[in-house]
Structure 1
Amino acid sequence: MNPGILAQYRDALPTEERAATVEKMLIHFAAVLYLVDAVSSQTNCSGKHLAVYLVGVVSSQTSCSGKSLALYLVGAVSSKKQTAQQPNKLLRYVSSFVPCRCSEQQETNCSLAVYLVGVVSSQTNCSAPESVSRLQVISTSTSSVAVQWEPPSNTDCLEEYQVCWSLADGTQSNCITQSIDDNTTTDITGLDPCTNYVVNVTSVGSSGDTSPPANITTSSDMTPGKVSSLETQSVGPSVLVTWTPPSELSWCVAQYEICWGSSPDDQNCTVQESSVTTLNITELTPCGEYVVGVRSLGQPGNSSQVNTNVTAAPKPARNLNFPFVNSTFIEADWEAPADQSDCIDYYQVCLTVSGETACANQTRDSTTTSYPELRPCTSHSVDVIAWTEGARSSVISEQVNTNNEVPDVPTDLHVNYAEVDKVNLEWHAPVANHECVERYVVCWKGEQTESCDNSTDIQDLITGLSPCGEYSLNVTAVGAAGSSETSHLVARTRTQAFNDISNLEVKSSNSTTLEVEWEAPTNNSECVQEYKVCWIGQETGEEGCTIQTRDIAKATITGLISCVNYTVNVTAGGVLKNSNAVSMPVMTNSTLVQDKPAIQNLSLSRDSESNITVTWHPLVEGMMCVRSYNVCWEQQSQPEDIQCLELPSSEDHLTISGLHSGTTYTVEVSAVLVTGETSEIIREEIPISASAIYGFRDPSVLVGTEGYIGRL
């Protein structure tokens, strides 16, 4: 507190009051000094130093007793005579007169500074600030906008302003803050030319609360360039105007203004959106001359106008007709537009036939034309257009047909495809007068059927026929003037309707021959031309085929190898298509079955006093059914002492040694089949004399013809 102020305040009082007043002032001064020293480091809820905060806020806050806290402290302190106390005692003294007590946990260290931090902050009652008012744009440029506003009516809690701007769609948002001590204006820079922006201004309070934003929409300024490529096209009673957007700042165009009239002082104008660069001007005077201008409209200025001259089109010709027509010639004439014969420069006459157009120009004095060498029975379109100075009238058009003739005979009649019950017939249009053909009459005749059909195409599908049938086909072209001669063809239905053979089986077989039989297809067997019978050996790979006529449903296959597995296939064949092959596996087995002999010519010969050689031959040379041979021998006097040896199928003899003299041996040979079965056993006997034994030989040792030693 300034002592000079205290002195001035003291001297202004009456003499009798000065002593008491000085005492109170000293107490107040001591309390203020202490508070500044003690609480300047404390912060309230808004983050400000409490000492600074108290200057602007405490006087408006009330204590728990409802009095202004600052006034309450002054009154409480000044009513006590405690000037001699130390500041800390004064603090306790002042605190004892504050109606609100510290919390229980603070009673041991209760001070006025702490109390003020808790109480004053809680007593602060700053609500969210109000919004700014009268937000307006005060200036714009190509890249900036300046805005201005008025502050809220109550600025007690106002801390600062936040100014934000973004594109109209909400993108590219930016913000700045501005102190309340600054002017209530701001310049927003770095904007794009001719672009709409939304600007928001928000009041920010000392507690961080914000007001609802005030907003305004504005744009940066730039005048767009002139349009280019201004063109006009005069057709009929209207003029079509087209142009290209400005090459400079085309995005700044808000609208286009199009004006037209017979002179610059007599014009009609219209405005349309910047996305549309064409305009069709109607209700013009035929053959009238007009000035057409277009300019770009922007903000704040507009481009200069681009002008061009155009002549409105004349009225169309009248009464187009055809005074003479035959099968190859057309004559046409018309009348000039009423009261405009002098306005027309020339006529354009076009003839269109079959999508092709040919045009020719005629003077305005010539209102007739002719077309020779045309095709009969053909539709033609004749168009007449009146022209003047690049402007053309609307088209007057009429259709006309050349006269009818009898068509010529259809050519190249042929079958496109045939099935078991249908034929697709195809032909070419007549060479002469093909334009006169209105339809074709297609007729067919077979053994059991006869009928006709109409076709407007150059093909026809004839159905309901019999398989493998022969039919007489006729095609006639019919026109308005009569029918052509007939084109003729004989065709057959296809043979693909029969199904597969059935019940394929082997009727008989031997070692080299198989006889197989089958049943013909159940559907359309009359379409079968032949049967193909094929076979292949699974083990040997040998294969072959034979052909049987359609009347024979069996075949004999010869030259096979015994005991080989064969697959037999039978296919029914037609003229154009065959059936699926029907397969059957079969094995040539001859007589080589269980309990039947598989060998022959078994013989025994004595090589020495104790050796014999057993020889045999297969029943059929090259048999593949035999896996091995079993050779067994025994003494007739000791049948329980039988010995056996299994030999590969490639062997056909065996030498047995170490036999006993003075006894007779029985030798047995059988074949083991690939199926595991054993063929019939072949036996022979041979006696061994006593004089044949010259030494001892182990009877279990056998020496075969290949020179190997085997042991039983």
Structure 2
Amino acid sequence: MIAVTVSVSAVSVDGLSSGNESITITTGPGVVRNVTSWIVELGSVGVRWEPPLPGEDCVSYYKVRTMDRYYNQRSTINVTGDKLEYVWTNLTHCEHKAFLIRAVNSQHAFSDVALKFSTSGTGAPGQVTEPEVSQTGSHSLHLEWKPPLELFDCLLRYSVCWKETNGTDSACAEQKLEKFPKRTLYGLKSCTEYTVTLAALGVDKLHNNDTTLTQFTGPEPVTALKVDNVDTRSVTVSWESPTCAQQFSVCWGAWQDKGGHSCTSVTNTSYTVSGLEPGNNYTIIVAALGVNEAQSDLNIVTVQLPPGA
């Protein structure tokens, strides 16, 4: 701490001056040292520090400001000069808090800030919500889910593990946090049931209440897809069936429909699409469906209808 005396006097144009007025101002103490935090008990986190050097003798009290990791829920507490700690209570698991500590002298001059981040204890996040396999392929499964509702602040990442349901070898991958969590598993066997386990991970990969899904991959794609007949209002297509296909999905749409398609399911290996518009270009998409309608990769053919008479 340094004391500075400032004197002020008024001076006229002819050099005459008034009497001096003086004020003495002290600078703030040094920054507090060796700030540490600790978990007091469930729901309470504390912070400790050592007094500044030099400048310990001029400290009147300490000002502790607390806020969450989004710099909300701010509060300020004055801690007496001989007390070198503060405990924040009534917290839940995994609340992330910031402590900003300043030393203050008798003239209320502040030191620079010492900043300490802490967490109110670790815990396993809750269970992921609304998990589903939203899309299948011949060798892939696309997974989607939503974050846990309980102890969300404990969530750091996700774990996705998968294996053949009747097998022993498994694989796992970690998934970063995002607004709409998802992951696609590639390199799987066709027509095979897989067991997928989703976990919400906390500190040190702590997790609880894992979620398990089972899902078949689709058959191999249909082969030899071709157009057998075309007239002004219909198209007949045929294909060869892969192993384990139980039925087939046939979808069609005109190019100018910008992705809008109509679909149907059939058990034969051919289908006639009728009610089309003469002269239009059409895309026809065929997929094999296996157990529980698990869909294969797609096979696509395009055709232009002749103009009407």
Q: Give the whole-Å Cα distance in 1 for the aligned partners of 2:301 and 2:191.
A: 25
Q: Does 1:306 align with 2:201?
A: no
Q: Does 1:323 align with 2:223?
A: no
> 5+ residue gaps in structure 2?
1-23
Which residue among 90, 95, 102 is the counterpart of 1:195? Answer: 95
Which residue among 131, 136, 150 is the counterpart of 2:31? Answer: 131
Which residue among 190, 194, 219 is the counterpart of 1:290? Answer: 194
Provide the aligned length of Structure 1 versus Structure 2. Answer: 275
Preserved CA contact (<8 Å) 1:317 1:334: yes
The corresponding residue for 1:213 is: 113
Give the Å deviation of 1:264: 6.7
Give the Å deviation of 1:269: 0.9
Give the Å deviation of 1:273: 0.9
The corresponding residue for 1:400 is: 303
1:370 to 1:162, Cα distance in 2 relative to 1, 3 A: closer
The corresponding residue for 2:134 is: 233
Give the Å deviation of 1:134: 1.1
The corresponding residue for 2:266 is: 361
The corresponding residue for 1:249 is: 151
1:329 to 1:230, Cα distance in 2 relative to 1, 3 A: closer
The percentage of aligned residue pairs carrying the same residue is: 24
1:150 to 1:378, Cα distance in 2 relative to 1, 3 A: closer
Higher helix share: 1
Q: Deviations over 1:379-417 (max 9, x none)?
A: 55433211112321122222335556xxxxxxxxxxxxx
Q: Which amino acid in structure 2 is aligned with residue 160 of structure 1?
A: Y
Q: How does 1:73-88 map to 2 (within 5 A)?
A: none
The corresponding residue for 2:3 is: none
1:171 to 1:268, Cα distance in 2 relative to 1, 3 A: closer
Q: Give the whole-Å Cα distance in 2 for the aligned partners of 1:276 and 1:373.
A: 39
Q: Give the whole-Å Cα distance in 1 for the aligned partners of 2:220 and 2:47.
A: 59
Q: Which amino acid in structure 1 is aligned with residue 290 of structure 2?
A: T
Q: Deviations over 1:316-344 (max 9, x none)?
A: 212211234455664432234xxxx3332
The corresponding residue for 2:175 is: 271
Preserved CA contact (<8 Å) 1:264 1:291: no
Preserved CA contact (<8 Å) 2:249 2:263: no
Q: Which amino acid in structure 1 is aligned with residue 63 of structure 2?
A: Q
Q: Give the whole-Å Cα distance in 2 for the aligned partners of 1:130 and 1:358.
A: 74
Q: Deviations over 1:332-362 (max 9, x none)?
A: 32234xxxx3332322234557877352311
Q: Deviations over 1:226-280 (max 9, x none)?
A: 1122111343343221123323233543332223333575212122115232223
1:211 to 1:321, Cα distance in 2 relative to 1, 3 A: same
Preserved CA contact (<8 Å) 1:234 1:313: no
The corresponding residue for 2:86 is: 186
Q: Give the whole-Å Cα distance in 2 for the aligned partners of 1:133 and 1:255.
A: 34
1:333 to 1:215, Cα distance in 2 relative to 1, 3 A: same
Partner SS state of residue 156, structure 1: helix
Q: Does 1:167 align with 2:68?
A: yes
Q: Deviations over 1:197-252 (max 9, x none)?
A: 21022222344433212111123345431112211134334322112332323354
The corresponding residue for 1:335 is: 240
Q: Give the whole-Å Cα distance in 2 for the aligned partners of 1:135 and 1:193.
A: 22
Give the Å deviation of 1:370: 4.3
Q: Give the whole-Å Cα distance in 1 for the aligned partners of 2:69 and 2:202.
A: 18
Which residue among 355, 360, 383 is the counterpart of 2:285? Answer: 383
Q: Give the whole-Å Cα distance in 2 for the aligned partners of 1:166 and 1:316.
A: 56
Q: Deviations over 1:675-699 (max 9, x none)?
A: xxxxxxxxxxxxxxxxxxxxxxxxx
Q: Give the whole-Å Cα distance in 2 for the aligned partners of 1:164 and 1:394.
A: 58
Preserved CA contact (<8 Å) 2:39 2:120: no
Q: Give the whole-Å Cα distance in 2 for the aligned partners of 1:130 and 1:374.
A: 83
Q: Which amino acid in structure 2 is aligned with residue 294 of structure 1?
A: L
Task: Give the TM-score normalised by the residue count of structure 2.
Answer: 0.73
Preserved CA contact (<8 Å) 2:157 2:174: no
Q: Give the whole-Å Cα distance in 1 for the aligned partners of 2:67 and 2:106.
A: 26
Structure number with the bigger relative contact order (C-alpha 8 A, sep ≥ 6) is 2
The corresponding residue for 1:586 is: none
Partner SS state of residue 290, structure 1: strand
Q: Give the whole-Å Cα distance in 1 for the aligned partners of 2:178 and 2:158.
A: 6
Preserved CA contact (<8 Å) 1:163 1:201: yes
1:329 to 1:305, Cα distance in 2 relative to 1, 3 A: closer
Computed over aligned residues only, the root mean square deviation of the Cα atoms, in angstroms, reads 3.4
1:265 to 1:189, Cα distance in 2 relative to 1, 3 A: farther
Q: Deviations over 1:654-678 (max 9, x none)?
A: xxxxxxxxxxxxxxxxxxxxxxxxx
1:159 to 1:328, Cα distance in 2 relative to 1, 3 A: closer
